[in-house]
Amino acid sequence: MKIDGTHYRTIWVADDGWSVEIIDQTKLPHEFATVSLQSADDAARAIRDMLVRGAPLIGATAAYGLCMALREDASDENLDRTYDMLLATRPTAVNLKWSLDAMRDAVRKVGHNARVEAAYAEAARLCDEDVETCRRIGENGLRIVRGLAEAKPGQTVNILTHCNAGWLACVDWGTALAPIYMAHDAGLPVHVWVDETRPRNQGASLTAFELGRHGVPHTIVPDNAGGHLMQHGKIDMCIVGTDRTTSTGDVANKIGTYLKALAAEANNVPFYVALPHTTIDWTMKDGVREIEIEERSPREVTHMTGRTEKGEVVTVEISAPGSAAANYGFDVTPARYVTGLITERGVCPASREGLLSLYPEKKPENDNG
């Protein structure tokens, strides 16, 4: 996507041919700064401290982290050590494991002397694939937005989204925002309600930034406003992303997603989840019981960062000193609240049967059901 007329992906190899550049998302929307990653430790820190975040981008960053580790030592021991170190950075998004597995498979196929080259080629391929996957998610989601627009000719289609599932969360395009960009580019009148997404404010800081730079009309709302907006007919559909989707269609996404799904169900608002195949965890069946929910520092709840009127970016405490705070990063929305899953292969019901209809190769061989 474009920033001030220049096309950016969220991650790319620098001109030296080996170090990796990222956009420091902790500085957005106040400053657009890029950071150079020069080792696997740098990549791990960028993921843990959320300079990069969003399920697909976490996977892409880990892939390049592995590349940089292999430049220093291409042995099996270092490959396995770095794999484990990167995998431990954030627990909920399954794309991280998917990407590291793909990298390890590609590297193990070749001799030690060819490993670095093979790793960089695979990381680049994974990034390109992510871009194409998200583009297709956009096309498939566009059909749904178009349907809503045709049902209310001349009126704006209002879409609510939570967290940031745009191009900043992926390599380009995004998942939940890809259909919105395509709808806007196709001339459909869309307006996005952007949940602020406490505590880290990915909605207010990142989604609103992205949409604004692309010229998509949007309004930031406090996280608690969705129910009210739905009751008053101000939301035509919700689209969110996901960090892990079970084989049965349960979806883990940023904390607060579940409450939006409940409000949508109660108000007959369609609730869609957009995802690439890399976010499906075929080993899991019960999201609420099985998906590990990341717990982050309470400081992210008790403190907020923003820009003062003088233009200085500062962090302030918003609670009384000494109060305990809990910071669950994600929640799980059971499949029954999801109207449909928008994937690169099409849209399906959020169920085992629905997912297998799009990914028949995942059907166990002895499964006749």
In whole angstroms, the minimum distance from the beta carbon of 367 to ligand MRU comes to 29
- Does residue 247 touch ligand MRU according to CB under 6 A? no
Tokens of 242: 């996901």
Segment contacting ligand MRU (CB under 6 A): 15-23, 163-171, 345-353, 358-366? 163-171
- Does residue 203 touch ligand MRU according to CB under 6 A? no
In whole angstroms, the minimum distance from the beta carbon of 165 to ligand MRU comes to 4
Segment contacting ligand MRU (CB under 6 A): 151-159, 188-196, 237-245, 318-326? 237-245
Annotate each residue in 129-148 with x if it binds ligand MRU (CB under 6 A) or - if it does not, as one string: --------------------
Question: What is the crossing angle of helices 115-151 and 55-72, to 10°?
Answer: 170
Using CA atoms, how far apart are residues 253 and 177, in angstroms rounded to an integer?
A: 15
Task: Give the residue with the Cβ less far from ligand MRU, 18 or 328.
Answer: 328
In whole angstroms, the minimum distance from the beta carbon of 143 to ligand MRU comes to 20
- Ranked by CB distance to ligand MRU, the top (closest) residue is 241
Tokens of 208: 């609103």
Q: Report yes or no: 32 and 25 within 8 Å, Cβ to Cβ.
A: no
Residue among 42, 243, 250, 281 flagged as catalytic: 243
Q: How many residues does the chain have?
A: 369
- Does residue 54 touch ligand MRU according to CB under 6 A? yes
Q: How far does CA 140 lie from the centroid of its chain?
A: 17
- Does residue 163 touch ligand MRU according to CB under 6 A? yes
Instruction: Respond yes or no: is residue 243 known to be catalytic.
Output: yes
Residue 64 CB neighbour total at 10 angstroms: 30
What does DSSP say about strands 157-161 and 190-195: parallel, antiparallel, or unpaired?
A: parallel
In whole angstroms, the minimum distance from the beta carbon of 337 to ligand MRU comes to 16
Q: Is the dihedral of CA 6, 342, 259, 243 positive or negative?
A: negative
State the amino acid at position 47 in one-letter form. Answer: I
Residue 96 burial (10 A CB sphere; 0-12, 13-18, 19+): buried
In whole angstroms, the minimum distance from the beta carbon of 234 to ligand MRU comes to 22
Alpha helices in the chain (DSSP H): 40-48, 55-72, 76-87, 95-108, 115-151, 177-185, 202, 208-214, 226-231, 257-266, 287-290, 299-302, 352-358
55-114 residues near ligand MRU, rule: CB under 6 A: 55-56, 93
Residues involved in catalysis: 243
Residues in contact with ligand MRU by the rule CB under 6 A: 53-56, 93, 163, 165, 169-170, 175, 202, 241-243, 253-254, 329
